[in-house]
Structure 1
Amino acid sequence: MHASASSRAKRFIDIVGALVGLGITAIIAIPVAIASCISDPGGIFYSQIRCGYKGKPFRIWKFRSMVRDADQKKHLVQNQASGFIFKNENDPRITRIGRFLRRTSLDELPQFWNVLKGDMSLVGTRPPTPDEVARYNPHHWRRLDVKPGLTGEWQVNGRSTVKNFEDIVDMDLQYQDKWSVTYDLQLILKTILVVVKGSGAC
């Protein structure tokens, strides 16, 4: 077991951060709901099954940034990434308000609920989808030795500009090697700076 998975200090920071984050989410939700209805009528939230600690599946939540039937249209969009991830900088399924939400990372705010529940941490690895995990090679499974995070190494060192899955794996494993509560706090501060600057956002 990785030390971060049983750290009480890390869990305490997660709970405090999640409560603050959910307060911000509640305030943001109203204007996001109005803008979303104007841009593309439908639900404000989007959920998807992801794999967490040791591969345990959980339902992740985001503000919806794509058209309602985006999952059914995924096969129509070219994957610009390499490996077991899917990325397209100009994905036509993204709505007008969705591009703003992604650029500002506001679409991620509902994940504070996942952090509060314990499915995720404020800082960790990128949460993969079950179809990605199904194709993992043995060394990829090490990514799942820690909880997935709302932010992490790959988010502060490139975010959407990182398009090679093996690079993401390397960053995730570097995080595990460097981990400490202090390092988590450093990554949280770096994330705030990256989001404010809009660096590497979709």
Structure 2
Amino acid sequence: MTDYLVSDTTGSADTSSIFLSEVPHPSTSSVFKRLLDIIGALIGLAIFAVIFVPLALLIKLDSPGPIFYRQERYGLRGQRFILRKFRSMVQNADELKATVPNEAKGLIFKNKNDPRITRVGRFLRKTSLDEFPQFWNVLLGHMSLVGTRPPTHDEVSRYSAHHWKRLNVKPGLTGEWQVYGRSAIKDFEEIVNLDLRYQHRWSPLYDLEIIFKTIAIIVTRSGAY
């Protein structure tokens, strides 16, 4: 698959030169993948409707602040969208980030004992319940059930050329990084390699395989914090 340099359409100077695939990745035009996303999103949103009230109450009782955490992320070919999660950190978590040591290597931030995470937040993360609002992003087409981890502005502002190749597919609720490492992966380049491997290995059946493996991981609560 050939790569070429394209101009940024977001109007951001720091993303004026993005290396993307000349030929669209086949997953981006797959009818099966889109139908799977819609069906999965509807199921996820149905569950979300059931768990919303009790989780919202727990979040509000545990710490002051909004129920949802909103953040701009970058999706397919650098398109921006707003991602929502159930809030799992204190209200001023972004301001406190500089005070927490980063245990990861590269362009990601990880700290197993991050003091910004609330008591309810740790439960939400361990069970992946904090991710359920993202099914709305999947239904809208911003994300897919399976894809790459959606990067933040802070990450993409420091991307090298090969990092942009991750965005040749839609970001996903899960992916190879979730199935083959999850929170154990602390090297950003390893995440990039897994994302690019997913692009090479992609098929409708492979998406189903990753989805079933992800469900098994969530049930056993392995690899999350």
**When the two structures are superposed, what TM-score results if normalisation uses the length of structure 1?**
0.99
Superposed, 1:105-124 pairs within 5 Å as 105-124=128-147
The answer on 1:85 being equivalent to 2:128 is no
Cα distance, 1:37 vs structure 2? 1.6
Q: Which residue of 2 aligns with 1:33?
A: 56
Q: Which residue of 1 aligns with 2:18?
A: none
The answer on 1:182 being equivalent to 2:200 is no
The answer on 1:24 being equivalent to 2:47 is yes
Q: Which residue of 2 aligns with 1:71?
A: 94
Q: Which residue of 1 aligns with 2:78?
A: 55
Paired AA for residue 162 in structure 1: I
Cα distance, 1:134 vs structure 2? 1.2
1:68-91 superposed Cα distances (whole Å, 9 cap, x missing partner): 111111111111100011111111
1:44-84 superposed Cα distances (whole Å, 9 cap, x missing partner): 11110000001111100100000111111111111110001
Paired AA for residue 114 in structure 1: N
Paired AA for residue 59 in structure 1: I
Q: 1:100 aligns with which of 99, 112, 123?
A: 123
Q: Which residue of 2 aligns with 1:199?
A: 222
Question: Partners in 2 of 1:62 and 1:26 — Cα distance?
Answer: 14
1:145-186 superposed Cα distances (whole Å, 9 cap, x missing partner): 000000000001111110000000010011000000100000
Instruction: Indicate the SS of the match to 1:29.
Output: helix
Q: Which residue of 1 aligns with 2:13?
A: none
1:176-202 superposed Cα distances (whole Å, 9 cap, x missing partner): 000001000000000000001111001
Question: Partners in 1 of 2:127 and 2:154 — Cα distance?
Answer: 28
Question: Partners in 2 of 1:154 and 1:48 — Cα distance?
Answer: 20
Larger-gyration structure (1/2): 2
Question: Partners in 2 of 1:36 and 1:143 — Cα distance?
Answer: 33
Question: Partners in 2 of 1:71 and 1:42 — Cα distance?
Answer: 13
Question: Partners in 2 of 1:73 and 1:180 — Cα distance?
Answer: 41
Superposed, 1:115-194 pairs within 5 Å as 115-194=138-217
State the number of aligned residues: 202
Cα distance, 1:42 vs structure 2? 2.3
Instruction: Indicate the SS of the match to 1:110.
Output: helix
Instruction: Indicate the SS of the match to 2:81.
Output: strand
- Between 38-47 and 157-166, report the one with greater CA deviation: 38-47
RMSD: 0.7
* Structure 1 contact 84–132 (Cα < 8 Å) conserved: yes
**When the two structures are superposed, what TM-score results if normalisation uses the length of structure 2?**
0.89
* Structure 1 contact 158–199 (Cα < 8 Å) conserved: no
